[in-house]
Amino acid sequence: MDHGRPKRAMTREDWYERFPRVREAGWGIADDGFHEREVTHEAASMLAHVPIDEPWLGAEIGVAQAKSASIMLHRRPLIRLVLVDNWIGWREVREIADHHLSRFDPGRYTIIDRDSTEAAAQFPDKHFDYVFVDASKTPPKYRMDLEAWLPKVRPGGIFAGHDVCRFVKDGVDHVLEDVKVVAAAAGAALNLVPEWYSWWWKVE
C-alpha cells in the first residue's frame, strides 16, 4: 500500500509527521543507529549471556520498536532472532520496528506478528539457544508465556525476561511471582538482576 511515504529513507521527523502520536508518546526512533551508542536494560540482560562468536538462535517475546533487537543484531553479528509481537494498539510501532530492523540482513531475523503464547506452538521444543520474555505483564499472561516458551529452549541455553522488581500491584510483584513459580516447577536456579529488572536461568 502506498502511504505517501517519501522515496528517500524515512527520518525521525518523517515518522513524527506521519504518526504524531509517536512523538507525543516519546517512542524511540533512530535515524543514526542508536544501537551503536545505547544499550537497553533488556539488551544488557541478553548480551551478558549470548556469546559473540557463536551463531546462536534467539527469540525475543515482545519487541516494541525493536530497540533491543537491533542492539542484539548489531553487537552479536552471528546471531539470528525470532521476534514475536502482535503490536495491538500501537500498529505504528510495528512500522518503526521494521524501520530499525531494515539496516540488518533480513536473513538474520524473522518477525512473528502474533499473540506471544500462540506463537510458541510454531516451534519444536529445544529449538532456541535463548528466549527473552518481555511481552504482556498482566496476570495470567506472563506466566502463560513463560510456560509456553520455556520448553523451546535447549538444555544449556538461557531462559530470561524482563520487568521483575519493577511493578508492584496490591503489594505483589506479579512478574516476580510468576517467574518464581515457573522456576520452581522446572527446578531451575533463578537469578535476578534488579538493576536491569531482569531475571534468567540456565536450562538444564
Ligand X SMILES: C[S@@+](CC[C@H](N)C(=O)[O-])C[C@H]1O[C@@H](n2cnc3c(N)ncnc32)[C@H](O)[C@@H]1O
Binding mask 88-127 for ligand X (x = CB under 6 A): ---------------------------xx-----------
Residues whose CB is less than 8 angstroms from the CB of residue 101 and which lie 6 or more positions away in sequence, other chains included = 66, 69, 70, 73, 83, 109, 111
> Measured between alpha carbons, how far is 158 from 156 in angstroms, rounded to an integer?
7
- Residue numbers 133-152 binding ligand X by CB under 6 A: 134-136
Determine, following the binding rule CB under 6 A, whether residue 85 of this chain makes contact with ligand X: yes
Determine, following the binding rule CB under 6 A, whether residue 60 of this chain makes contact with ligand X: yes
Which SS3 state, helix, strand or coil, does residue 200 take? strand
Q: Looking at beta carbons only, is 157 or 161 nearer to ligand X?
A: 161
Determine, following the binding rule CB under 6 A, whether residue 70 of this chain makes contact with ligand X: no
The DSSP bridge partners found for residue 158 are 130, 202
Which SS3 state, helix, strand or coil, does residue 122 take? coil
- Min dist CB 4 to ligand X, Å, is 25
Determine, following the binding rule CB under 6 A, whether residue 87 of this chain makes contact with ligand X: yes
Q: Per CB under 6 A, which region of 121-129, 131-139, 147-155, 192-200 contacts ligand X?
A: 131-139
Q: DSSP letter string over 33-44?
A: -GGGT---HHHH
Determine, following the binding rule CB under 6 A, whether residue 40 of this chain makes contact with ligand X: yes
Residue 140 preceded by cis peptide, ω within 30: yes
Query: What does DSSP assign to residue 30?
Result: -
**Where do contacts with ligand X occur on this chain (CB under 6 A)?**
40, 42, 60, 62-64, 67-68, 84-87, 115-116, 134-136
